[in-house]
Amino acid sequence: MSSNAPGNRFLKINLLTIILLFVLILAGGVVRSTGSGMGCPDWPKCFGQYVPPTSISELPANYKQVYADKRLAKNQKFAKMLDIFGYSQLAMRIRNDRSILVPEEFNSARTWTEYINRLIGAITGIFLFLTAIYSFKYWKSSKLIVILSVLNLVLVGFQGWLGSIVVSTNLVAWIVTVHMLLALAILAISIATYHMAKVNGRYKLSTKPFIAILTLLVLALSILQITFGTEVREKIDAVASHLEGSYRDSWTSRAGEIFSQHRDMAMVVLILNVVLYALIRRTFNRHSLQQQLMSFTFLMLMLQIVTGIVLSYWALPPYAQAAHIVLASLVFGAQFYLLLNLYSSANLQGAGR
């Protein structure tokens, strides 16, 4: 019992980290959908305080100019970095973006929304750190668990910095997509290390290769669909900015071809998941983890389609935006874990890992 205690702690902490990552994605979706990204204009403090203000009376008279200047200085540094990597045109766009100079008005609700998001991010970071520490228990048996756990800690630090750039640069399009894909990568690594510790290195394809290939294809399409989704959101942000927030019910119709691609891809993803669901039901018994994962995936997928319909026909309500992205992440996580379990040792098949 005692000899395996570090391993048990690793599994518990890793599992809690995975849950926190989903909560963090939800919190990020709430921040994005409510426009609360600049609710705290500085970092790591919020308006220079560890606990943010609740009233504008707690701020100095010139607070807007102070934080606008800080934001401008931060973006100038980012533009210099882009120049170094050869993205001169993007760097010039950021330098010439006059909207960056527009001071942010204090809004208590947005400030606390962003602050709670940061708190969840900080707690998640602590658990990722603990996961990395306890992963060293596996150094002799599986160095990959250690390497991936430490890598995840580095990635989440980079993700935090990238998130600040997302809001500071007025959501530069490609950075939003990279930010979302990096979140999925961090989630995937946490799921992979949890699974590797569970099966203790015992891997063997425990089903027909076609099912594994189809699962991989469905997973790839889900990632592509999420990418399309971020691009749709970027396009809608541009439309909303152009219309100055008016005519909200027409934003999706003005998003253009990328919205149509996202909608059509949803049907392809649904059809392939139906096929995969049928194959999983034929191959595994109803109590197996594989069938439970596929049932969960299908449920999340249907709920995601419902939120997509709500977004399209009910003028993009913020609650549906946040739900849509977290459901997409849950679908991705379940599909990825299903793929990993298709390669588990045959004698572990259906054991309810």
∠ CA 286-288-289, nearest 5°, is: 125
Interval 215-239: pLDDT, tens: 999 999 999 999 988 888 777 777 7
Mean pLDDT of the chain: 84
**pLDDT bracket for residue 4 (50, 70, 90):** low
* pLDDT above 90 (res 331): yes
Q: Would you kindly state where each structural domain of the chain is located, as residue ranges? A: 1-201, 203-353
pTM, two decimals, is 0.86
Helices of type H across 85-202:
88-95, 108-135, 143-168, 173-199
* pLDDT above 60 (res 353): no
Query: What number of CA atoms fall less than 13 Å from residue 71's CA on the CB side?
Result: 29
User: Is residue 111 a contact partner of residue 46, using CB atoms and an 8 Å limit?
Assistant: yes
AA letter at 325: I
Percentage of the chain surpassing pLDDT 70? 87
Give me the helix-helix angle, 173-199 and 108-135, nearest 10°.
40
**Domain at 203-353, CATH class:** mainly alpha
pLDDT at residue number 344: 63
* pLDDT above 70 (res 65): yes
pLDDT at residue number 5: 63
Strand pairing partners for 203?
344
